[in-house]
Each structure stands twice: as C-alpha cells, then as structure tokens.
Amino acid sequence: MAAPVTLMLISGATQAIGAIAAGNAQAAQYNAQAQAAAYNANIQRQQSSAVAQQTSAREDLQRRQARQIIGRQVAAGAESGVNITTGSASDLLRQSLYDAEMDALNIRYEGEINRVGLLNQASLSDWEGRVAKKNSKTAQRAGYLNAAVSLTGAAAGAYGMRGAAAGGSSSSFSLSNGSTGLGLRQGGGTGLRVGGGTGLRY
C-alpha cells in the first residue's frame, strides 16, 4: 500500500509545482503588460510636452508672419497715399488683423486638442498598468492557492488509503477464564472467546 500512497503524494506535489509555475508565468505576462503600459504613458506625456512646445512655436511664427504681411500692406498703402485709418482701407486692415489672430488661435486650439488627447492616453495607460499589476498579484496568489488545494487533496487521499489499509488487518485472540486465572490466549478459531463458561464469542 506504500507505493500507491507515495505515488499519490508525488502526483499532488507535481500538480502543486505546476500550479505555482502556471501562476508565476501568468503573473510575469501581466507584469510585462504593466511595464509596457508605463512605458507608453511616459512616451505619451513626452509627446504631449513636445506638442505644447511645437504649438507655441507655430503660434508665435504665425503672429510674426502676420505682422510682417500687415506691415508691408500698411507701408504699401502709405506709399500710394492711401489713408489706412479711415474708409475701406481701414476695414481691410482690421480684417487682416482679425484673420491673423484667428489663424494663431486656431493653431493654439489644434495643439491643445492634441496635447490633451495625449495626456488622456497617458492616463489610460496608467490605468491599464495598475490593472495589470493587480492581475499579476491575483494570478500569483491563484497559483499558490491551487498548489495548496492539490497538496491538501493528495494528503487527504493518502491518509484515507493508509486508514483503509490499517483497518483491514486484524489478529485473532481469545479471552479465557480458566482454572489458571483470567488471561488472554491465542484461540484456535477466529475472534475473542471466554474459555470454560459463558462469555463473548465472535
């Protein structure tokens, strides 16, 4: 009976080792996902900062170019004797200034949308990283729990097999009350008996 019990314990230990290995492997995958999410979040924040800088530079460039263009228009009008402070010339100047400012603001708005979008993506990556870390811990705990279940089941099965083996073996004795006194003696049959008188017989 020792061999089946040993095999059962070995099988339980093997299953426990496999459960721990599987849990650790899954935990490692989740850890890799968490690292990738953290990397993505860092890149997205860097991109957001770069977009903000690029947007500010484009806006400044747009304003400088607009001032140069409007300045040339004013100079051309002055050379031709046009009074830019009144009439249609004044209206055209105001419209040019308005258009230049709208172009600059549109550049700022577009850049802000891109910047905020990247920050939102970074926040999502952070969340994915936190979830992956939690899943990693859960997977590792599940591996150890499954290992404990395997070991407990194997131990219970082995204990049951040992108990069954112990309960199946018995010896035959007789209890006698002979002239020589009260004592135990090996009987010729099966069971306990009281010799020479009334008693228990099995």
Report residue 196's pLDDT band, with 50, 70 and 90 as the boundaries.
very low
pTM: 0.62
Higher-scoring residue by pLDDT: 98, 83: 98
Res 79: pLDDT: 82
Res 176: pLDDT: 41
Query: How much is the average pLDDT of 145-155?
Result: 83
Listed range (45-59, 70-84, 106-120, 168-182) with the worst mean pLDDT: 168-182
3-class DSSP string for the chain? CHHHHHHHHHHHHHHHHHHHHHHHHHHHHHHHHHHHHHHHHHHHHHHHHHHHHHHHHHHHHHHHHHHHHHHHHHHHHHHCCCCCCCHHHHHHHHHHHHHHHHHHHHHHHHHHHHHHHHHHHHHHHHHHHHHHHHHHHHHHHHHHHHHHHHHHHHHHHHHHHHHHHHHHCCCCCEEEEECCEEEEECCCCCCCCCCCCCCCCC
Query: How much is the average pLDDT of 41-51?
Result: 96
Listed range (90-99, 107-116, 119-128) with the worst mean pLDDT: 90-99
Res 113: pLDDT: 97
Listed range (23-27, 78-82, 148-152, 197-201) with the worst mean pLDDT: 197-201
Kindly list the domain boundaries of the chain, sorted by start residue: 2-169, 172-202
Query: How much is the average pLDDT of 177-187?
Result: 42
